[in-house]
Amino acid sequence: MEKTKVCFYKLVNILSKQVMKSVTGGSAICFILLSLCFLSGCSRGISEKTDEIAVIDVINNLGNYQETFLSEFVSEIEYIPLETKDDCLMGGVRDIILTPSHIFVHGYTGGSGGDFIVPGTTRCYAFRRDGSFVCEIGRIGQGPGEYQNISGLSIDEKNQLLYIETYRTLLEYAWSGEFRRSINKPQNSQEIPVGQVVHFQDNLFVGHCPNHRGQETHTFLLFNDSGRVIKTFENHVKFDRQGDGSSFEAASMRPIKVADSHYVKEIPNDTLYCLNKQNELIPQFVFDLGKYTFSKEKRGRKIDAQYVNTMSEVLIVPSGLLPMVGTPAYIFFSLFSFSTDIPGLKGQNEGTQSILLGIYDIALKKTRFLANNPETRKVGLMNDMDNSLSFWPKYYSSENELVDVWQAYEMKDNLAEQHTIGYTIKHPQAQQKHKEIVNNLKDDDNPVVVIVKLKK
């Protein structure tokens, strides 16, 4: 992985046909990305411009796990129990969106966890900012405004519209729950609908073209509210996959929004792209995964009984179980691997030993991985604000807030265990408020939304 800033004119000479034929697939991709960066210019934060791609150094930080406290990043913490009533019972939360007035939740009603969704068990609910229930948005069925299952949620905050993504369509609703229309999603070259679709800007949406066979023409595309493709972005990583079958790495993460930009990333690609207001797709961050890079050769292997063995050689960013969350100052990400030889990974996070949580500091260009908090079952930032459960963001709001979701029974168990801590509680008043809220919860109540205000 090329890490050094190089003059663009020198880079052009390097990118001759002879050189491109001689370098490996991964190196060629990196050279192309660097050249695109110099041509377009890309920002390391949201507003600051630079002429380099920031490197998120994963490989050299594996094995170095640090206790990291919530108070380093936030100034306030707030708990909002979601109202529990028969019309909105949830076993957990799959997706969450926070606005100044509403909380939108993609919840599941059955099963033992939110990472496995049985078709027909997911619902979309709207709550007010104080947690009081507003309405269910859409419902299961085959009529107008109905769905069989939910792929994801996104919003147009300016016009107060909510979009529920299904396999073939986007369903548009007012925040009051009123169904407005259905938008057909475009398809890739194999007539598979684009996935991980979110509202981008104005009447435009961005979606990803699944690349199951390795020969997909485009990676991402923009389409309008009539379903017409407005702009496409070329796929530069083509390969020949043997045999039939599809796999999760043909997909992408759900795009994340920070200010006026969106960030997109294919699961196997090591590059996080910025999609700006000018509809330009610019490489902005590169995850340096070293020997764990998901190379072109590994992507082209036949999907069969031996396929899982090849997965032990790669790191997946994000993990798929936890979303990537970006702010103007930080990127909160997760890694997943089947590998057992990652330094210090085994036993690092009991119960989720294949997942690592990482934070990239954009200004300092520093990467760190979190140590497991031994005092709770929940991994994340150690909560020295009020000594409750560890925090890990699931969403970044337009009001500079990070959002997590906790189960009521987890909060009650944590409070009852009364762990001895070796650090100072930064906000004793918040600790008392937290105790009052938890004491009023029942084990089977709806989840609690945790909102923290980021420091400026």
Average pLDDT rounded to a whole number, residues 183-212 = 94
Confidence band (pLDDT; 50, 70, 90) for 86?
A: very high
Please write the tens of the pLDDT for every residue from 262-303: 999 998 899 999 999 999 999 999 999 998 898 887 777 766
Average pLDDT rounded to a whole number, residues 164-183 = 97
At residue 2, does pLDDT exceed 50?
no
Confidence band (pLDDT; 50, 70, 90) for 404?
A: very high
Q: Token digits for 36?
A: 């695109």
Average pLDDT rounded to a whole number, residues 27-49 = 39
- Quote the pLDDT of residue 184: 97
- Quote the pLDDT of residue 316: 86
Provide the percentage of residues in the chain whose pLDDT is more than 70: 77
Count of alpha carbons within 13 angstroms of residue 403, beta-carbon side: 26
- CB burial readout 160-183, b (16+ within 10 A) else e: eebbbbbeebbbbbebebebeebb
- Quote the pLDDT of residue 351: 42
Confidence band (pLDDT; 50, 70, 90) for 213?
A: confident
Mean residue pLDDT across the chain = 82
Higher pLDDT, 184 or 378: 184
- Quote the pLDDT of residue 89: 92
Q: What is the CA radius of gyration of the chain?
A: 22
- Quote the CA–CA distance of 26 and 32 in Å, as a whole number: 10
At residue 8, does pLDDT exceed 70?
no
Confidence band (pLDDT; 50, 70, 90) for 254?
A: very high
At residue 38, does pLDDT exceed 50?
no
At residue 54, does pLDDT exceed 70?
yes
Average pLDDT rounded to a whole number, residues 126-138 = 97
- Quote the pLDDT of residue 116: 42
**Residue 367, class by beta-carbon neighbours within 10 Å (0-12 exposed, 13-18 middle, 19+ buried)?**
buried
At residue 422, what is the residue type?
G
At residue 346, does pLDDT exceed 80?
no
Pick from 194-203, 349-358, 404-413: least confident: 349-358
- Quote the pLDDT of residue 339: 66
At residue 306, does pLDDT exceed 90?
no
Average pLDDT rounded to a whole number, residues 379-394 = 91
Confidence band (pLDDT; 50, 70, 90) for 178?
A: very high
Average pLDDT rounded to a whole number, residues 40-51 = 43
Confidence band (pLDDT; 50, 70, 90) for 305?
A: low
- Quote the CA–CA distance of 430 and 433 in Å, as a whole number: 5
- Quote the CA–CA distance of 245 and 213 in Å, as a whole number: 9
DSSP states of 2-47:
--S---HHHHHHHT-HHHHHHS-HHHHHHHHHHHHHHHH-EESSSS
Average pLDDT rounded to a whole number, residues 134-161 = 94
Confidence band (pLDDT; 50, 70, 90) for 246?
A: low
Average pLDDT rounded to a whole number, residues 374-391 = 80
Please write the tens of the pLDDT for every residue from 330-343: 999 998 877 667 76
Distance in angstroms between the alpha carbons of the first and the last residue of the chain: 33
Determine how many CB atoms are found less than 10 A away from the CB of residue 408: 21
